Amino acid sequence: MNTAPLVIVCTCHDTLCPVLPERALVEGMAVRRPEARLKFLPSLCRPSDLKSLSALIEQERPSALLLAACSPFAKGRNILDELIRGECAIPVDLIDIREGCSFIHAGDSDAPDKAVDLICMGLAGLIHRQRSPKVSFQPQRRALVVGAGPAGLAAAGILARLGIPVTLADRMGRAGGLLNQIGKLFPANTPSRELLDPLLQEIDNPMVDFLSKTSVARIEGDPGSFTAHLVRDGQESIVQAGAVILACGALPVLPDKDFRSGEVAGVISQLELETRLRKLETQEAGTPEFKNAVFIQCMAARDEAHPYCSTVCCPTALKNALRLKSLNREVNVTVVHRGIMAPGRAMEELYRKAMTAGVRFVAYSPADPPEVRGDGKVSAVSLKDALSGRDTLLPADLVVLSTPLKPRPETSVLTKGLGVHLDEMAFARGREPMHPLATPVPGVYLCGTVRWPVYAEQAVDQGRAAGVKTAAFLAGGSIGDLCPASPPGPAKAAVRTDACSRCGQCVAVCPYGASRRDEDGAVSVSAIRCHGCGLCTAVCPSGAARIPEHNVAIREILREIAPRIAP
């Protein structure tokens, strides 16, 4: 093996030459790095050139290979991947002299100097960059699903079908979650049993250990071996699981004296209307005892306490307005809203159907909220129409308040123990936007309303997806495959115990809870939790926390940039 590194410059079909002439590069490199050999190839993205590259490697047998070509986001990454897949045994790296130099410095006489600098920086990185050790993991083959709503049931069902033992815990006596309180589902007025019953059948499987009336007090441990403390009737028990699916749902906000509910009769929540409608629909010749129903949307939503759109309330109002209309066409239904949020083909159709059925829509502005009128019993709703600006009085004998879903306070206890973060509204946060169901902690997945309000069918879909992701995690493998890694591969922080002063700054700043202390105070990094962001290496006063791919290499790269003093 030759000790000198080989630098391949891709001239990109000779388009590089006007800005970066070959001679200037050769001369520059001869001064800076005489030992490095420089070769030019016209187009590395062509298979023929890759073949000549392999021949060159065979012939020169260099200690390292640096490709000076286009940006990794153009073709560079593909070329690099091709080489690594072709089992290139020597260290190989790519630097960008096309987008990063020739394209942006046209007509600049300093451009060749910069290209030489970039090549030297690349060589410094190649020589000094160490690699994090490859670590494999073997998780315990059991999943814990917290919450048996539609999402949790779907997750447990798919895991059982994939042959993975599941513990499914729910605080309630029976499975189904919020779906138990809802009779029919939008948009097609499907009875909720039609969604729920197949899910219940799926978890009727020896693989699923369904624990009802059981709440999960806390979960500790690391991905692959979590310990959950379950409480049932004051009795605590422990379950060991390799992965956790959080499907613990959300809470409906209920009116508390809002819009004079509780004070005047006839002001109810949408959830109560669900119950009443279910009764009316099962009665023979059920007729509602009211003539004028007014739905008020966005009660306690999109305000300071709940600064978000809860997604499900507008479709629910549309569905229930239509249900009222189909019970009795004579009932006047008015929806007082701040903009109807009904996205998607089916929801748009539902909205049009409601308009055709004679449901009236009146917009209000949050600055002028509607007022409920009446003594003892509701008689009217007065509001300022936001579109026409006119004061409007709507006669009403029933006022239905559409309320949002809010995060469950217990969720934060679980997420804290797991190392998962909450968003500003206190919903559990996934790795948005690319991996919304996965969390930064491998082996912890989210589905259903615990992460954001969703429709019941979507909760089922999310549950299935989270189940499959969990199964993939539980198959084990290399921890490098778990976190998004930049080339050359997953970087993991490590603490050198001999240099560590145990100050604990890295433990305090680690955004993933990967740096931790043991009982003796010694600091270590959990490789499976670490994403290699490098925050710990930046705060470590002793230089003990290090990322092999990062620290030494960056220092050497900076040295290459520093201006050299003339001899």
Partner 1 sequence: MTQSQSPAGANREDSFNKKDKSLSAPEASIQGKQEVRAAVFACRWCALLGADRAGRERINIPASFRLIPIECAASVEPDMVLRALADGIDGVAVLGCHLGGCRHNDANRTARLRLSLLRDMLDIIGLDRRRLLLSWGTAHEGHQFAALIRKFVSDLAELPALDRRLIGTR
Among the listed ranges 41-49, 175-183, 318-326, 551-559, the one in contact with partner 1 (CB under 8 A) is: 551-559
Q: How far apart are the C-alpha atoms of 169 and 148, rounded to whole Å?
A: 7
Among the listed ranges 184-192, 254-262, 321-329, 558-566, the one in contact with partner 1 (CB under 8 A) is: 558-566
For partner 1, the binding residue among 64, 69, 111, 321 (CB under 8 A) is 111
Six-digit token string for 82: 């091709």
For residues 53-70, one letter each, b for 16 or more C-beta atoms within 10 angstroms of the residue's C-beta and e for the rest, the string is beebbeebebbbbbbbbb
Residues with Cβ within 8 Å of residue 298, at least 6 apart in sequence: 313, 337, 338, 366, 402, 404
Among the listed ranges 5-13, 179-187, 471-479, 526-534, the one in contact with partner 1 (CB under 8 A) is: 526-534
Q: For the sheet containing 371-373, what is the strand order? A: 371-373, 380-384, 391-395
Give Cα 487 distance to the centre of its chain.
Answer: 22
Which parts of 126-165 interact with partner 1 (CB under 8 A)? none
Q: Does 563 bind partner 1 (CB under 8 A)?
A: yes
Six-digit token string for 126: 């190649």
Q: Does 538 bind partner 1 (CB under 8 A)?
A: yes
- Residue among 108 and 303 whose Cβ is closer to partner 1: 108
Give 323-382 as a 3 state SS string: HHHHHCCCCEEEEEECCCCCCCHHHHHHHHHHHHCCCEEEECCCCCCCEEECCCECCEEE
Which parts of 459-488 interact with partner 1 (CB under 8 A)? 484, 486
Which parts of 411-450 interact with partner 1 (CB under 8 A)? 421, 440
Q: Does 238 bind partner 1 (CB under 8 A)?
A: no
Q: Does 547 bind partner 1 (CB under 8 A)?
A: yes
Among the listed ranges 221-229, 279-287, 471-479, 508-516, the one in contact with partner 1 (CB under 8 A) is: 508-516
Number of residues binding to partner 1, judged by CB under 8 A: 48
Question: Could you give the angle at which helices 150-161 and 456-474 cross, rounded to 10 degrees?
Answer: 40
Q: Does 217 bind partner 1 (CB under 8 A)?
A: no
Where helices occur in 36-149 by DSSP H, the ranges are 47-60, 77-85, 111-128
Instruction: Give least dist CB 535 to partner 1, A.
Output: 4
For partner 1, the binding residue among 63, 90, 103, 232 (CB under 8 A) is 103
Among the listed ranges 9-17, 98-106, 227-235, 262-270, the one in contact with partner 1 (CB under 8 A) is: 98-106
Six-digit token string for 209: 């250990």
Give residue 208's identity as a one-letter amino acid code. Answer: V
Secondary structure (3-state) at 418 = helix
Q: Does 535 bind partner 1 (CB under 8 A)?
A: yes
Q: Does 117 bind partner 1 (CB under 8 A)?
A: yes
Burial level of 558, CB count in 10 A (0-12/13-18/19+)?
exposed
Residue keyed to tokens 């930049």 = 486
Which parts of 346-405 interact with partner 1 (CB under 8 A)? none
For partner 1, the binding residue among 179, 280, 550, 556 (CB under 8 A) is 550
Positions in the binding site for partner 1 (CB under 8 A)? 71, 73-74, 96, 98-101, 103-108, 110-111, 113-114, 117-118, 121, 421, 440, 484, 486, 491, 509, 511-512, 531-535, 537-539, 547, 550, 554-555, 557-559, 561-563, 565
